[in-house]
Amino acid sequence: MDISTQEQSSYPGLPVFSSLKAEEVVPAVREMLADAREKLEQIRQAEPGWETTVLPLELLNHQISRAWSPVSHMNSVVNTPELRQAYNQCLPLLSEFFTQLSQDQILYQAYCKTDQDEKDLSTEQRQVLKLAIQDFRLGGVGLDHDKQLLFSENTSKLATLQSRFEENLLDAGNAWKRQISDPAIVSGLPASLLESAATNARDENVEGWLLRLDQPTYQAVMSHADNSELREAFYEAWVTRGSDRGPHAVRWDSSDIMEEIMGLRHANARLLDFDNFAEYSMTPKMADSVAEVSSFLTDLAQKSARRGKEELAELVDFAGKTLEAWDLAYYSEKLKQSRFGISEEELRPYFPIDRVLQGLYTLAGRLFGIHLLPQNDIDTWHSDAIFYELRSADGVIIGGLYVDLYARPGKRGGAWMDECVGRIRTRQASEEPVAYLVCNFMPPLAERPALLTHYDVVTLFHEFGHALHHLLTQASYPSVAGINGVPWDAVELPSQLMENFAWEPEVLPMISGHYETGEPLPQDIVDRLLGSRQFQSGLQMLRQLEFAVFDLRLHADYDPGKGARILETLRDVRNEISIVPVPDWNRFANGFSHVFAGGYAAGYYGYKWAEVLAADAYAAFGEEGIFNQQVADRYRQSILAQGGARGAMENFVAFRGRPPRPEALLEQAGILDQAAPPG
């Protein structure tokens, strides 16, 4: 089985997902890595240089990434026991290969010699070398043999443990459901959710409604269910997934896994002479130090606290009672309706998925001169998934995009963009970038299309911003193409910038139209929607800062003698920052996959860091017009096209003409105290 480059009629080289058989994955990966080791040996024996060392290794890494991508992706979107087993068997193999590669002294010296000796390299080539040399050092190339083996062993364990964390979260969510026969209990729930739940019940031969614990159902219950006991049940099930508490206590508990993950991260950081993993994590980022990030987060929290407290007091007053954690979203939605005369459910009929996608792609075309054309003959992993061909204004294919939007059992929660194929432009290989865009929206029903809330629309725009970053890159070398090589605290800039367009009065008519009548979003609803943008911005800011500070302190303050102190650290951070009620049995950390299973360990602050960049960058569109072609072209060339081929600050300054303004985010959120005296 070739899991990477099977041919299809209209687009060569895409994965044929339907041919991927779980039992063939491990042998295919073993064969791929054996072949890669032979090629590595040839590279090691060659005279050091760009053409003999760096370029062949770029191509080799590209081929491995391309081959592994469909396996990793399918494990996330159509998870089965057989595929999961194969995936987990491959993780140590891949980890061993890449750790040995990063610790290879001969290759490291060849890169250093190339950087020193070759004088005519381009800026992009210099960046490839700079980042690779940095990766060698962070991968343990300077360690003695015994320490290298320990570093490698720890890294392999981490890959396996992080996968198990994600699996526990998925299994705990899939295992919980609530069957309801009494109409009074589902009072307040959106009709669209009830229709879907009734279909679930019929499929499982039970009466009434069957509610599952997927993200759109959870959000709808928390925001709209009049029955407090139902909200509490969903809340408990959601915030105790993968933990020692809740309806599935212990069965999928990741507490020991999290403890071991923290210990291994710290151990590897200490092997490299960093005080802690947070310091290790800062090395490739925009931020200079843990202290700088801590100060940044503390400053945001202090400036947001007053607004947040006022918003919470207002909510309690509106509810007329002491609020529990499962009451907040419900009464917030009621207050929002009372103040602005608008609700997310009221907006759903105006955001049918086809209309939103059409408008989003039209917007991208207007800004960047691109066209996304659906291709019905491309093999995908599920009937929900659609492949789009991306073409330039003059009709040239410049990439491809898979879109998979609906929640279903066996699919990881949340929303993300990932690489299917990275861009490469060398004499040896030339391929266009291909991306996956994945969400978990409420699926369509037989009688009507999928209808999105405006929150869903913003999520879609966010992930599409990531996709543009990947697809519009002009970098020639995969290690710096698209989001590759971009510092983790800058990688959210394009996604968060793109969210802003979903709020623009000029864009809303492009992405909305009643699914039955085609009627555009009425102007009075547009006005009310825009008026609600800064609703509870203080509470939202504090919530994200709580997560970011928790993540940072968890890694910066880790003490092997005391252990990870995960619950204690979270409690301390909440006492300092949070102003909302949280029950003692809340196990948020056990569901924090960004940190314990993803790439955001000691880096979750990057969302806020990049949000400052995005708010300031988007202000350029506000100043000169959101469809101003010069601004759009400058943004595309300075940031999207560059990817990681140039420093993130250089990219920002090239676009904005100056460094970012820290106040931009607070201004956008309406939190900045305009009455404060200058100083």
Mean pLDDT of 245-259: 96
310 in any annotated domain: yes
Better-predicted residue by pLDDT, 6 or 224: 224
**Cβ neighbours of residue 81 closer than 8 Å, sequence gap 6 or more:** none
Among 195, 213, 239, give the residue marking a domain's end: 239
Mean pLDDT of 50-75: 98
Average pLDDT, the chain: 95
How many Cβ atoms sit within 10 Å of the Cβ of residue 144?
Answer: 8
- Token pair 């970038």 in the structure block, residue: 433
What 3-state class would DSSP assign to 359? helix
Give the C-alpha distances (Å, rounded to integers) separating 607 from 549, 602, 622, 670: 12, 12, 22, 18
| 676 — pLDDT class (breaks 50, 70, 90) | very low
**Cβ neighbours of residue 488 closer than 8 Å, sequence gap 6 or more:** 284, 285, 599, 600, 603, 606
Task: Answer whether 524's CB lies under 8 Å from 643's CB.
Answer: no
Mean pLDDT of 79-99: 97
pLDDT at 7 over 70: no
Q: Supply the pLDDT for residue 323.
A: 97
Q: Could you give the CA distance from residue 78 to residue 460 in angstroms, rounded to a whole number?
A: 20
pLDDT at 490 over 70: yes
pLDDT at 108 over 80: yes
583 in any annotated domain: yes
Q: Supply the pLDDT for residue 13.
A: 83
User: Exposed, middle or buried, 250 (CB in 10 Å: 0-12/13-18/19+)?
Assistant: exposed
DSSP-derived secondary structure for 509-576:
HHH---TTT-PPPPHHHHHHHHHTTTTTHHHHHHHHHHHHHHHHHHHHS-BTTTB--HHHHHHHHHHH
Mean pLDDT of 47-54: 98
Q: Could you give the CA distance from residue 653 to residue 43 in angstroms, rounded to a whole number?
A: 38
Mean pLDDT of 321-333: 97
- Token pair 């709020």 in the structure block, residue: 503
pLDDT at 5 over 60: no
Are both 333 and 472 inside the same structural domain? no
Long-range contacts formed by 568-576: CB under 8 A, 24+ apart: 573/546, 573/549, 574/546, 576/549
Task: Answer whether 79's CB lies under 8 Å from 174's CB.
Answer: no
Among 531, 550, 577, give the residue marking a domain's end: 531
Q: Supply the pLDDT for residue 546.
A: 98
How many Cβ atoms sit within 10 Å of the Cβ of residue 431?
Answer: 18
167 in any annotated domain: no
Could you say which of 463, 492, 499, 611 is catalytic? Answer: 463
Tell me which residue of 491, 441, 676 sits closest to 598, measured CA to CA: 491
- Calculate what percentage of the chain has a pLDDT beyond 90: 95
Mean pLDDT of 628-654: 98
* CATH number, position 24: 1.20.1050.40
Task: Answer whether 56's CB lies under 8 Å from 419's CB.
Answer: no
How many Cβ atoms sit within 10 Å of the Cβ of residue 426?
Answer: 16
| Residue 463 a catalytic site member | yes
Q: Supply the pLDDT for residue 423.
A: 97
Q: Supply the pLDDT for residue 252.
A: 97
Are both 522 and 557 inside the same structural domain? no
Q: Supply the pLDDT for residue 446.
A: 84
Residue 92 C-alpha from the chain's centroid: 24
Are both 514 and 545 inside the same structural domain? no
Task: Answer whether 173's CB lies under 8 Å from 241's CB.
Answer: yes
Tell me the HSE value of 442 on the side-chain side, using a 13 A CA sphere.
Answer: 35
How many Cβ atoms sit within 10 Å of the Cβ of residue 172?
Answer: 26
In the chain, the amino acid numbered 103 is Q
Q: Could you give the CA distance from residue 184 to residue 359 in angstroms, rounded to a whole number?
A: 39
| 10 — pLDDT class (breaks 50, 70, 90) | low
434-441 β-sheet, strand order: 370-375, 386-392, 397-406, 434-441, 416-421
| 3-state percent breakdown (helix, strand, coil) of the chain, nearest 5 | 60, 10, 35
Q: Could you give the CA distance from residue 22 to residue 86 in angstroms, rounded to a whole number?
A: 6
Are both 58 and 88 inside the same structural domain? yes
End-to-end alpha-carbon separation of the chain, Å? Answer: 66
Q: Could you give the CA distance from residue 219 to residue 579 in angstroms, rounded to a whole number?
A: 21
Are both 574 and 505 inside the same structural domain? no
Are both 313 and 330 inside the same structural domain? yes
603 in any annotated domain: no
Are both 188 and 308 inside the same structural domain? no
Three-state SS string over 597-666 comes to: CCCCCCCCCHHHHHHHHHHHHHHHHHHHCCCCHHHHHHHHHHHHCCCCCCCHHHHHHHHHCCCCCCCHHH
640 in any annotated domain: no
Are both 550 and 522 inside the same structural domain? no
**Cβ neighbours of residue 19 closer than 8 Å, sequence gap 6 or more:** 1, 6, 379
- What are the E-state strand segments in 337-494? 370-375, 386-392, 397-406, 416-421, 424-425, 430-431, 434-441
In the chain, the amino acid numbered 137 is R
| 326 — pLDDT class (breaks 50, 70, 90) | very high
Mean pLDDT of 575-590: 96
pLDDT at 531 over 50: yes
Mean pLDDT of 528-549: 97
Residue span of the structural domain in which 218 resides = 176-239
pLDDT at 674 over 50: no
Q: Could you give the CA distance from residue 130 to residue 134 in angstroms, rounded to a whole number?
A: 6
Torsions phi, psi of 354, nearest 5?
-65, -40
Are both 321 and 353 inside the same structural domain? no
Q: Could you give the CA distance from residue 286 to residue 375 in angstroms, rounded to a whole number?
A: 39
| 11 — pLDDT class (breaks 50, 70, 90) | low
402's tokens: 């898979």
610 in any annotated domain: no
Task: Answer whether 620's CB lies under 8 Å from 455's CB.
Answer: no
Q: Supply the pLDDT for residue 394.
A: 94
pLDDT at 327 over 60: yes
335-363 pLDDT tens trace: 999 999 999 889 999 999 999 999 999 99
| 519 — pLDDT class (breaks 50, 70, 90) | very high
Domain count within the chain: 4
Measured at the CA of 448, the angle between CA 17 and CA 458, to 5 degrees, comes to 70
406 in any annotated domain: yes
Task: Answer whether 473's CB lies under 8 Å from 484's CB.
Answer: no
- Token pair 């947040």 in the structure block, residue: 308
Which sign, positive or negative, has the C-alpha torsion 225, 230, 231, 234? negative
pLDDT at 4 over 70: no
Are both 206 and 58 inside the same structural domain? no
332's tokens: 């917030």
pLDDT at 197 over 80: yes
Are both 428 and 577 inside the same structural domain? no
Mean pLDDT of 221-239: 98
514 in any annotated domain: yes
Question: DSSP character for 451?
Answer: B
Are both 310 and 388 inside the same structural domain? no
Among 491, 510, 531, give the residue marking a domain's end: 531
Q: Supply the pLDDT for residue 672.
A: 80
| 675 — pLDDT class (breaks 50, 70, 90) | very low
